[in-house]
Amino acid sequence: MRSLGLALACLLTLALATCGDNLTTIPDAHPDPGPDGLEVPAPPPLGVQIDRAGRPAIGTLLLGTLDTSDVADMKRDAYHLAADPNQWGSTQLAPGRSVLAELAANLAVLDVIDQGNLAIPGTPGCNNQILYNGNLQGGGPPGPTSYQQLAVVLAEDMLYLDTMFPTCTRYFSLEIELASGTAIHHEECGGRAPTHDVIDVTYSALLSGFFGFTQPALIPRIADGVTPREGLSNTAFPYFGSPH
């Protein structure tokens, strides 16, 4: 009972010490917090950035795709350490290998994966990726810059959000409009909500481009087979429901 009482006293002390705006001094009447007038310490400075936490799966799919694990890890670390958005595309992941060059090279690897997929309209396989040769529906002869335009979009690794729209059920809403040159107008807020199946959308966009989605609903045609987690919510905190 004594240890329980001590523990409760400690908890009460911590609760009292952390209430308020964290900017004022601790009152004199506080039970033994330390010297009178002791200030709440400032939060520690931020350390080195270790992850951009932008669009999910881009780094996993498009960095070091054909490299050994140690080289792939080196490239991904360099990618995530780049904190200046103005240098995201030009950041060197390895000698002579920028982010843009790495993304473009590995987009070509993913472009062929849907070959023979009967669920994809048109001609699945090479050259049907969105923005291939700068075209919404791909197409055209292969060239050294065929994947460059999509690589530029993906190198800007941040979530696009339009707060004018209250509905947010489609991941990549604004990116698809950007890639289409405004031919496809977004009608939702974009961003990333807990209920978005971001992997299905990413696979469909990178493997089959425009043809990877139904029209006009933009439902992804390529799926990873993983069902959504139960209890997800876009509006009720903490959004992820009860622990499983």
Altogether, the residues listed in the chain come to a count of: 244
pLDDT of residue 204: 93
Is residue 28's pLDDT more than 60?
no
CB 27 within 8 A of CB 15: no
Q: pLDDT by residue (tens digit) across 77-127?
A: 999 999 999 999 999 999 999 999 999 999 999 999 999 999 999 889 999
Summarize the confidence of residues 214-219 as an average pLDDT. Answer: 84
Q: Would you state the structure tokens that stand for residue 69, as one six-digit string? A: 């694990």
Summarize the confidence of residues 19-44 as an average pLDDT. Answer: 55
Q: pLDDT by residue (tens digit) across 69-78?
A: 999 999 999 9
Give the start-to-end residue ranges of the domains of the chain: 58-212
Confidence of residue 45 (pLDDT cuts 50, 70, 90): confident
The answer to which of 14-23, 46-55, 216-225 has the lowest mean pLDDT is 14-23
Q: Is-above-0.85 flag for pTM?
A: no
Summarize the confidence of residues 123-144 as an average pLDDT. Answer: 91
Is the pLDDT higher at 181 or at 49?
A: 49
Q: pLDDT by residue (tens digit) across 143-166?
A: 999 999 999 999 999 888 899 998
